[in-house]
Structure 1
Amino acid sequence: MCKYTFYYSLCLILFTTACSSRRNLVYFSDLGKKTVDTGMAVNNIEPKIQPNDVLSISINTLSSESNNLFTLNSGYTNKMGFAEREGYRVSKEGFVRLPVVGEIDVKGQTIDQAQQTIARRLNSYVKDPLVNIQFLNFRVTVIGEVNHPSTFTVNNEKINLLEALGMAGDMTVYGKRENVLLIRETDGKRLMTRVNLNEKDVLNSPYFYLKQNDIVYVEPDKEKASEYSPNNRLMPLIVATISAIAVLGTALLGR
């Protein structure tokens, strides 16, 4: 009887292993090897300034005194001795407050638009001001089934899904490329959507290019998730125990 139990257990293990679903690990797998696909990047939309963003605003004029008057210090040293960058935080109403000038509405504007808006206000005080603005809080977070999950600061305010995954060391073999979750907050509203990186159409998706504070979550496949399920943690131990008993019984019967 034990002999048959051993063979039954062995067949069960082999059957379970063989029935594991195969993952499609190829990005844009629906793009043929000989296919050349060209088109305009219609989804490359510039990020817009939102409440609570932190902006670096530098103002250059013909007068060094005016430069110091309108611009905050570019940096300071904190109590720990590390240099940090200080910027202008956008209020919940979408305003930044500049020295002398006062509040300026920049909510929903691109960097170029905000630079022009501030320059127009400064024209009443100085001649031909040059305004340069950068995001100080343009960060994206990549978590889940990637090799190096983390939060990354983006200096050029432009990053797409593939670049973010590359910064995180790419997905592991357990990552579901067909079901990547993107979490985005805009104007106090949270958007959650899923994208399929096995399909080339994702290149034209409005979610291919990321915005500040986006979170990318790579979900594990069912086999990986089941390893951590409380209901399945004892299964390997049970199977191993049955197999050990079967081997021992077979050895005893064979004497």
Structure 2
Amino acid sequence: MSSPPAVFGDLDDRTRPLAVLVHGFPDTPFTWRHLGPVLAEHGYRVAAPWLPGYDAPAGRPISVGTYARHILDTAERYGADERAVLIGHDWGAQAGYGAVVAQPHAFGRFVALAVPPIAALSGLFGYRQLKRSFYVWFIQQVGLAEPALLAPGFWESLWADWSPGYDATADVEELRRHVGPDNIADVIAPYRASFQPDFADPDAATEAEAAAHPPPVPTLYLHGRTDGAIGVDAIAELSGHFPAPGSSAEIVDDAGHFLHLERPDPIAERILDWLAVR
């Protein structure tokens, strides 16, 4: 059974707009400990759900479509309306594209962090990006990847590569409390489903396909200039990939992949400024 989301503000007060904050890999809702309270202070009620498989074994296939459907279920459960905003990081961003494409009226606005639309990844198969993406290919090795990822030092090294200079001790400790031998295969399942159809979630095929399309709602996209997971050299000109009026895309200086943790105050300020413009 899935754990309840992390909550900031009064989730039952439906006079306030809903914000759904979705973590990525390898992470937990703990990642929103800075942004969640700030949004609550500015009038939002915030739900930060666990992605399926992170808090307990899922017992079913998991793909990006599974994540997108989970986001949409969360929005429905907590009464999202036209004021609602979806904020996703990493897989949370990728699943967010699927959610807003599959159901454009579920959220009024979308903030995506660290993973642009697929069509914007013009350098995905260049040598430098392939080096960064070694873990994706290794994850395809069933039975070999699971113990390697759980071995001491793996998560710590990955976070250090992705967000140079950031101290991820607390984040990795929280991750290890929830991800272990019983559910590591579920946590990495979307990577396998992306390349091996046998791993895909057949019940979320529509949402998975939707995740490959640009968002039809106003979107703010932020990407760290020193991101070690997806380098800025692998990304094409961003503006054309966010077609909805009011959208904006920026490269953030002095920030890596976990930019909302590395520079929590400037990122929160940028998001709030953008949300304030109607």
Q: TM-score normalised to the size of structure 1?
A: 0.22
Q: Which has the larger radius of gyration?
A: 1
Q: TM-score normalised to the size of structure 2?
A: 0.21
Higher strand residue share:
1
Higher helix residue share:
2
